[in-house]
Amino acid sequence: MVQEAHKIITLEELKGRTLEELLHEVAQSRQPITVILEEGESVTIEPSSQLKPLPQLEGHVPEGWKNAIS
CATH 1.20.1740.10 is right for the domain spanning 1-48: no
CA 55, distance to chain mean position in Å, is 22
Those residues with Cβ within 8 angstroms of residue 44's Cβ, 6 or more apart along the chain or in another chain: 6, 32, 33, 34, 35
Those residues with Cβ within 8 angstroms of residue 47's Cβ, 6 or more apart along the chain or in another chain: 26, 27, 30, 31, 32
The H or E element spanning position 64 is: none
46 or 70: which leads in pLDDT: 46
Show me where the domains of the chain are located.
1-48
Dist CA 18 CA 65 (whole Å): 54
Residues 33-63 pLDDT 10s: 999 998 889 999 999 888 888 898 888 888 8
pTM over 0.75: no
